[in-house]
Amino acid sequence: MKEILTSEHPVLRQKAKKVKRVDASIQKLIDDMFESMHVASGVGLAANQIGVSARVLVIEMTKENTEDAVEAQPREKGGVAYSGEQIALVNPGIVKMEGEQFGEEGCLSVPGYVGMVRRAMKVTVKGLNRKGKEVKLTGEGLLARAFQHEVDHLNGILFTDRLEKPEDLYRVTEEGRVPAFQGDGTQSAKKKEPA
Ligand SMILES: [Zn+2]
């Protein structure tokens, strides 16, 4: 299992490199990513989160968190991702964005924090699957949020960059969500280590 890097690692701030060929090494990378994501109980992971600069993302939604998130449409018709599906995309690109959602988002590379982030409600993503075949997938709600979050990672962007105001960042504690920004106007509490 590969270690999931946290936000101070430079590779998370760099644009990941385009994959030239989907070969056995990329398939191995995808397997490693799913494994690391499962261990960390994540919904999605980008390759640079395990230190590999390659434009590869994986997403796996559970049934319960996709109930309203995906359209129940036969896969062969529109390429709409279904709940529980293991999605792996190489060189992904968002080709269509519709609507808007504003909700809580977290990241395995930003442990202990969540933030309120505005995203498109529905997106269509194009890329190559693990066999190197071109695919187009559409997701709504949480799945759309995951697509946007992971594509951001591959461009060196973290959800904390998307916050509209510092007050939208929260620290996750045993007592629940605590505002991470203390509002003293000088510094965000984001950089402080949890006590
Ligand atoms: Zn993330």
How far is the centre of ligand 1, averaged over its atoms, from the C-alpha of 45 (Å)? Answer: 6
How far is the centre of ligand 1, averaged over its atoms, from the C-alpha of 28 (Å)? Answer: 21
Task: Please report the pLDDT score of residue 176 as a whole number.
Answer: 92
pLDDT exceeds cutoff 80 at 51: yes
CATH 3.40.1160.10 fits 10-184, yes or no: no
User: What's the CA angle centered on 103, arms 100 and 104, to 5 degrees?
Assistant: 150
Reduced to 3 states (helix: H, G, I; strand: E, B; else coil), residue 84 is coil
Largest CA distance in the chain: 54
Q: Is 150 a catalytic residue?
A: yes
How far is the centre of ligand 1, averaged over its atoms, from the C-alpha of 53 (Å)? Answer: 15
Average pLDDT over residues 123-144: 93
Average pLDDT over residues 190-195: 51
Q: How confident is the model at residue 195 (pLDDT cuts 50, 70, 90)?
A: low
Q: Which residues contact 88 (CB under 8 A, 6 or more apart)?
A: 30, 33, 34, 56, 57, 58, 129, 130
Q: Are 143 and 61 in contact (CB under 8 A)?
A: yes
Task: Please report the pLDDT score of residue 75 as a whole number.
Answer: 47
How far is the centre of ligand 1, averaged over its atoms, from the C-alpha of 108 (Å)? Answer: 5
Task: Please report the pLDDT score of residue 117 as a whole number.
Answer: 97
Q: pLDDT of 90-116, one tens digit each?
A: 999 999 999 999 999 999 999 999 999
Annotate 53-62 with b (16+ C-beta within 10 A) or e (fewer).
ebbbbbbbbe
Q: Which of 60, 105, 140, 150 is catalytic?
A: 150
How far is the centre of ligand 1, averaged over its atoms, from the C-alpha of 26 (Å)? Answer: 20
Shortest CA distance to 55 belongs to which of 133, 136, 152, 137? 152
Q: pLDDT of 32-42, one tens digit each?
A: 999 999 999 89
Task: Please report the pLDDT score of residue 80 as a whole number.
Answer: 65
Q: Which segments of 17-112 are extended strands (E)?
A: 44-46, 56-60, 86-98, 101-106
The β-bridge relationship of strands 122-128 and 113-119 is unpaired
Whole-model pTM?
0.86
Tokens of 138: 């559409």
How far is the centre of ligand 1, averaged over its atoms, from the C-alpha of 151 (Å)? Answer: 10
Annotate 115-135 with b (16+ C-beta within 10 A) or e (fewer).
bbbebbebbbbbbbebeeeeb
Q: Are 113 and 100 in contact (CB under 8 A)?
A: no
